Amino acid sequence: MALYNISFIGAGNVAGSLAAGLAAAGHRILSVASRSGDSARELASSLGAEWRRDLTVPAECDLLIISVSDTAVGTVAENAVISPGTLIAHTAGSVPLAALGRSSGAGVLYPLQTFTKGFPPDLSQVPFFIEATDSATLNLLREIGESIGAGAWECDTENRKKLHLAAVFTNNFSNFMMTTGETMAREAGIDPVLLRPLIGETARKALRTGPEAAQTGPAVRLDTGTLKSHIELLSFSPQYQKLYRLVSKMIAGHYSKKKK
């Protein structure tokens, strides 16, 4: 496996996880830059890298990874000072490759995972989705994704946006359903922490068979009595009633279509 010199602009949860993973895989982290100082300084020092406040990247850098907020990617790419031999990539699901403003030497390295400060995910399980302006950059990103993750899959900007949307449903929306479950438990005077084992088993079940096969409950079995009773229990909130009706209808529709 080829080893590379890599710099970061950005020092958030994604940058922190990737930098640590890259260093562990033998790559060398040259520098970490960010306007907000502390997290970058901490990350740089933990990896024996240089901490920078400006956007100048060491000349021997092979790949600059820009891991900042979606709206900042373009400006950072424009203002980064790099050598002709340095490639640049961002890590955002929703940001086009074109935002980097280059016709060569630019790419995207999107990890399909949620990153939490202090709890880095197991990178070896994370699939990376890559796109690039040219095959040399694509190959380097493929090597990087394979060296630290579950592998690298080519995916253009449009499909990467769809994948990001898939991640919103899988992570953000399912998480909100669990939060709603907690709200209902509180309505019943029950400590929501007692729902945690159900959260765990819900994921284990979905991981075993995929979520589509794991579906149970009143909507999929068209148990109209229970559906009606649940809607009555939600009479304190027309919005929760609307949510319950819509999701139940979609579940019923999804599975009745499959049976046909």
| Footprint (CB under 8 A) of its own copies, residues 128-147 | 129
Which CB atom, from 61 or from 76, has the smaller least distance to its own copies? 76
Asked if residue 196 binds its own copies (CB under 8 A), the reply is: yes
Q: Which x/- pattern over 61-100 shows residues binding its own copies (rule: CB under 8 A)?
A: ---------xx----------------------x------
| Chosen residue from 45, 224, 229, 256 binding its own copies by CB under 8 A | 229
- For its own copies, the binding residue among 5, 39, 150, 241 (CB under 8 A) is 150
Question: Distance (Å, rounded) from C-alpha 42 to C-alpha 83?
Answer: 26
- The H-or-E segment that residue 139 falls in is helix 135-148
Positions in 1-60 near its own copies (CB under 8 A)? none
Bridge partners, 64 (sequence order): 7, 88
In whole angstroms, give the CA distance from residue 47 to residue 88.
20
The answer to whether the CB of 185 falls within 8 A of the CB of 195 is yes
Q: Judged by CB under 8 A, does residue 238 bind its own copies?
A: no
- Count of CB atoms within 10 A of residue 257's CB? 8
162 vs 153: CA distance, rounded Å: 14
Pick the closer one to its own copies by CB: 25 or 233: 233
Looking at the Cβ atoms of 56 and 233, the one nearer to its own copies is 233
Least Cβ distance, residue 81 to its own copies (angstroms): 28
For its own copies, which is the closer residue by CB, 2 or 168? 168
Residue 6 host element (H or E)? strand 5-9
CB 146 within 8 A of CB 123: no
Q: Of 4 and 115, which has the nearer Cβ to its own copies?
A: 115
Q: How far is the CB of 128 from its own copies (least distance, A)?
A: 10
Residue of 1, 24, 136, 165 interacting with its own copies (CB under 8 A)? 165
Residue with tokens 């040219």: 134
- Closest-CA residue to 230 (of 242, 214, 221, 216): 242
Judged by DSSP in three states, 203 sits in helix
Q: Which residue lies nearer to its own copies by CB, 81 or 166? A: 166
